[in-house]
Structure 1
Amino acid sequence: MNGVPSHLFDAARLGDREAIVKVLEIAQPDIRRYARSTCRGSADAEDAVQEALWLLSRKIGTIRSLTAFSAWLFTVVRRECTRLARALRLQPPQSLAELDLERSFGARPQAELALDIAAAIEALPPHYREVVLLRDLREMTIDEIAASLGETRQGIKAKLHRGRLLVREYLSD
């Protein structure tokens, strides 16, 4: 949340509606990107973003400082993603027809495939996992990843290629 000026944050904390709206507009892209990398699906990510924005609009007065703001907001998003994932696991399929609609990779339902992909990514060595997550989940460009990790563009491309290859091998086994 580097883009929220302190004077705007302070005005929002004091209840200025225009300042609150502006803070929400500035925060939305960052929390949307974080939600996409944290939640299991795009629908859950959007739900988490909406929940976080709604809570922010109601609770901004309780946040003590601008430095605590982003940590608080990202925590809200992470908790909402966890809550949504837990709720999904507890819901059994409605019917056999619904199960057939969810099949997409071999004989595995989409939910099972999503878990397998998550396990494959988790099994990657950390240096590959980080690059794969930044590119495929946070949707950062190769140049952005290289700059954030202090590596060359070619090095990032090689790690991304190798990481994706390892995920494919994991899924084919």
Structure 2
Amino acid sequence: MTDTLAENGEARIIAAILAGQKDLFHDLIRPYERHVYVMTFAILKNEADAEEVTQEAFLKAWRALASFRAEARFSTWLVSIALNEARGRLRRKNQAPTDSIDETHEDGTPHVSPALLRDWREIPSEMLERAEVRSLLRAAIDNLPLIYREIFLLRDLEELSVNECAATLGISVSAAKVRLHRARLLLQKDLAPQLKHLNPKRRWFPWS
């Protein structure tokens, strides 16, 4: 119900903007400003680039607002624009990650055994409040190959549905599910030894 009310409210704001009340555009994007910046920063790993890309995404959304057809949520449409802008910036700066991976699947994605690994969100919530764990999690996200970092950010930061993630990334739903699963496994693999070092007495994972 809340989502529906929010979407109806956004639809009215968009209609008003297109009718000439241009000053309402900031009200429209305000709820998403931080999320868009955090996502672009996580992809670009540079504050100045993230700020520029975020502003470019909002400007592009402003210019293209009349083309928004409400087939997806406005937030999904906005995130898609920001993601494309961030990808473009990476291409122009030749900063796309080129991770060297010894074990890979036939499609070139890294192989991670799912045995005994559990969803990253099962890390005890009280520990996530600790600065050390938040810092480790940010670093682990930064270390993800781009295709996994994107899906993780869209699903677990932006909280898009898997279908919305797939549409935003231009991939199939099944591919989105596979990427998300592998992203979480890679995070677990990266975080496990560090979390054990942080608190060796805590049973962080089923195999410990």
With structure 1 as the length reference, what TM-score do the two structures score?
Answer: 0.51
Partner of 2:191: 161
Matches within 5 A, 1:4-153: 4-15=6-17, 16-65=21-70, 67-89=72-94, 115=97, 123=110, 125=112, 135-136=137-138
Cα distance in 2 for partners of 1:82, 1:128 equals 30
Unaligned runs of 5+ in 2: 102-108, 122-133, 143-155, 160-186, 196-208
Structure 1 residues 158 and 12: CA distance shift in structure 2, 3 A: closer
One-letter code aligned to 1:9: A
One-letter code aligned to 2:47: S
One-letter code aligned to 1:8: E
Q: 2:120 touches 2:188 (CA, 8 Å); kept in 1?
A: no
Q: CA deviation at 1:50?
A: 0.7
Q: 1:39 touches 1:45 (CA, 8 Å); kept in 2?
A: yes
- Report the secondary structure of 1:135's partner residue: helix
Cα distance in 2 for partners of 1:55, 1:123 equals 35
Partner of 1:97: none
How many positions carry a matched residue from both structures?
123
Partner of 1:154: none
Deviations 1:108-134 (A, max 9, x none): xxx7xx947x557x85848699779x9
Q: CA deviation at 1:42?
A: 2.5
Cα distance in 2 for partners of 1:68, 1:20 equals 16
Q: CA deviation at 1:13?
A: 3.5
Structure 1 residues 38 and 158: CA distance shift in structure 2, 3 A: closer
- Report the secondary structure of 2:64's partner residue: helix
Structure 1 residues 129 and 87: CA distance shift in structure 2, 3 A: farther
Unaligned runs of 5+ in 1: 90-110, 140-144, 149-156, 166-173
Cα distance in 1 for partners of 2:42, 2:118 equals 16
One-letter code aligned to 1:85: L
